[in-house]
């Protein structure tokens, strides 16, 4: 998938999977409980977004001279931290906040951050509509329709910010339902080894007025 992993990152990813397995019975983090299935459906599925994300961030930085040095990313409806935790492990230069309305899931993210010593990871228990911080990237994975995702999180999007929505099949109907205030600028097909299902990222930004 074009994602180079250091030994430390590999160890952190495996430790993260172990934490999900350990706490799943208590926190009900995911319906996928089989270890091989978790590897493909969660870990590889999340790793598939790393290269596209880094590419988009490079474009953002080159286009906006006033962009902050440290990019902030908000993962909406993060649940067990997929893909937020994976992005925090692989992209230490990004501050990743994982927001969820379920307190125990946000607490799990905090526990992962402490256990894996990830100072750039934070679990947030809140509704995304009530957040006051601004983020250059707002992401989601199987969270809601594109209309709901963008409308609920628009106030958290920084100026020049972008939305990153992980989807299965190409969501043509959802894209057609988007209001004129949201512009889809790229749909990126993903290849997840061993998954046997379609995956894509829908990249969006607020449409220019006028």
β-sheet with 135-141: strand ranges across: 121-125, 95-100, 72-76, 135-141, 157-167, 199-206, 182-190
Q: Is 1 among the domain residues?
A: no
**CATH number of the domain enclosing 133:** 3.40.50.150
pLDDT one-digit tens code per residue, 72-110: 999 999 888 999 999 999 999 999 999 999 999 999 999
Q: How many CB atoms lie within 10 A of CB 177?
A: 11
Residues in the chain: 210
**Per residue in 175-205, pLDDT tens?**
999 999 999 999 999 988 777 788 999 999 9
pLDDT tens-digit map of 12-48: 999 999 998 888 877 777 655 666 666 666 688 899 9
25 occurs within a structural domain: yes
- Taking only the tens place, the pLDDT of each residue in 122-131 is 999 999 999 9
pLDDT of the residue at 27: 72
Residue 62 lies in a domain: yes
- Residue from 98, 157, 151 nearest 123 by CA: 98
* pLDDT reported for residue 179: 97
Q: Domain total for the chain?
A: 1
Q: Confirm if 165 and 146 have CB atoms less than 8 A apart.
A: yes
Per cent of the chain over pLDDT 90 is: 70
Q: Domain range for residue 81?
A: 7-206
The structure's pTM equals 0.92
Asked, for residue 167, whether it belongs to a domain, the answer is yes
Contact 40, 193 (CB under 8 A): yes
CA-derived radius of gyration, the chain: 16
Two tokens, residue 29:
């983090």
Distances in Å between the alpha carbon of 75 and those of 7, 37, 87, 164?
25, 22, 10, 9
């Amino acid at each position: 998938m074009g994602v180079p992993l250091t030994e430390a990152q590999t160890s952190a990813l495996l430790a993260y999977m172990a934490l999900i397995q350990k706490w799943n019975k208590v926190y009900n983090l995911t319906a996928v409980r089989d270890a091989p299935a978790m590897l493909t459906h969660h870990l590889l599925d999340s790793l598939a977004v790393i290269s596209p994300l880094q590419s988009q961030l490079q474009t953002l930085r080159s286009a906006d001279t006033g962009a902050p040095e440290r990019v902030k990313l908000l993962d909406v409806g993060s649940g067990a931290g997929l893909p937020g935790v994976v992005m925090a492990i692989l992209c230490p230069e990004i501050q990743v906040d994982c927001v969820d309305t379920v307190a125990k899931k946000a607490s799990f993210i905090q526990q992962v951050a402490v256990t894996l010593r990830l100072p750039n990871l934070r679990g947030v228990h809140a509704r995304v509509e009530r957040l006051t911080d601004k983020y250059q990237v707002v992401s989601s994975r199987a969270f809601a329709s594109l209309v709901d995702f963008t409308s609920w999180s628009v106030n958290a999007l920084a100026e020049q910010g972008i939305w990153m929505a992980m989807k299965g099949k190409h969501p043509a109907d959802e894209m057609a339902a988007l209001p004129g205030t949201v512009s889809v600028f790229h749909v990126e097909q993903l290849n997840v080894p061993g998954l046997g299902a379609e995956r894509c990222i829908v990249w969006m930004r607020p449409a220019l007025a006028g």
